[in-house]
Amino acid sequence: MSAALSDPRPAAPSASQARALLVDRYGSAEAPAGLLLNDTIAGLLSHRSVRAFSDRPLPEGLIETLVAAAQSAPSSSNLQTFSVVAVENPQTKARLAEIAGGQKHVVEAPLVLVWLADLARLEEIGRRAGHPTDALSFLETLFVGIIDAALAAQNALVALESLGLGGVYLGAFRNRPVEVAELLGLPPNVLGVFGLAIGHPDPARPADVKPRLSQRLVLHRERYDASLPQAAVEHYEAALRTFQKGQGLPEVGWTATALNRVRGAEALSGRDRIRDALAALGFGLR
């Protein structure tokens, strides 16, 4: 076994480092106290999406490591309905960047993993066995594929961040799923759910931890609480403006941006037609 025991994480976070992470994540007014912390959890709390990569090459064995982490995530009924395409070819990345609406970090990243909801593998195994696979044509089974792909991808992201690398998901591949399928040679019943651009973070263009909504708005005890306290929403507005200021971004807050993104079909960048695209890709959606 040539496994390299590389890049051990630093020592467990101190209490003050932990507090700083939680203030970054929630703002000082809403940062929870009394959390359980270790290196792995500190790593999760430290996540930031990286869109600026250096040209430092990726380590040998990275792709296989990320796929092993991904496959170690749970899979619904162990159906293993995800696959992944590892793209390093500059021309393919350029085309993916264009499909994603001109996201230049897709080209800059040395590696793009495209996570697939893959119902074709079971279809082919059924064909070889002479066994019906009619349940693959239901919307539920596409959900299974999407969930399997998401759980897998998140494990890969956790793994790569633990190695000091950075990444960002690329949901915009769903703007034009048929073109992604053509580019990557996907058979029917396979959807590119999202991409993950991966590289060494460029130290000259660092990303910060983005604040999230207060746990008061997200965590419910025993039953859903629909009261949505306005004060917590306003604390979040303030925390996100502070983040935006620190990143040199326009201080537009969250509410206006999020509401603009869900205002109507025209805000969905083509994803309002995803049912037609899925039908074209062979999904039954029953």
> CB neighbours of 168 closer than 8 A, spacing ≥ 6?
49, 50, 51, 105, 196, 197
Residue of the chain from 106, 136, 239, 281 that contacts its own copies (CB under 8 A):
136
In the complex with its own copies, which residue's Cβ is closer, 206 or 229?
A: 229
Question: Closest by alpha carbon to 94, among 224, 188, 183?
Answer: 183
Question: Closest by alpha carbon to 136, among 115, 120, 152?
Answer: 120
Residues 41-60 that bind its own copies (CB under 8 A): 41, 43-47, 49, 59-60
Phi, psi dihedral angles at 240 (to 5 degrees): -70, -35
Residues 225-244 that bind its own copies (CB under 8 A): 226, 228, 230, 233
In the complex with its own copies, which residue's Cβ is closer, 106 or 190?
A: 190
Report yes or no: 171 and 139 within 8 Å, Cβ to Cβ: no
194 is a site residue for its own copies (CB under 8 A): yes
202 is a site residue for its own copies (CB under 8 A): no
Least Å distance, CB 61 to its own copies, is 4
Question: Closest by alpha carbon to 195, among 175, 176, 168, 177?
Answer: 168
279 is a site residue for its own copies (CB under 8 A): no
Residue found by looking up tokens 């090459």 in the block: 57
* Cα 225 to Cα 32, 93, 127, 221, distances in angstroms: 19, 44, 48, 8
* Beta pairing class for 82-87 and 166-170: unpaired
Least Å distance, CB 125 to its own copies, is 6
Least Å distance, CB 55 to its own copies, is 20
* Cα 240 to Cα 23, 27, 110, 138, 204, distances in angstroms: 12, 8, 30, 40, 22
Least Å distance, CB 198 to its own copies, is 13
Least Å distance, CB 264 to its own copies, is 4
Least Å distance, CB 84 to its own copies, is 6
245 is a site residue for its own copies (CB under 8 A): no
Residue of the chain from 55, 203, 204, 223 that contacts its own copies (CB under 8 A):
223
Residue of the chain from 203, 204, 222, 248 that contacts its own copies (CB under 8 A):
222
In the complex with its own copies, which residue's Cβ is closer, 77 or 248?
A: 77
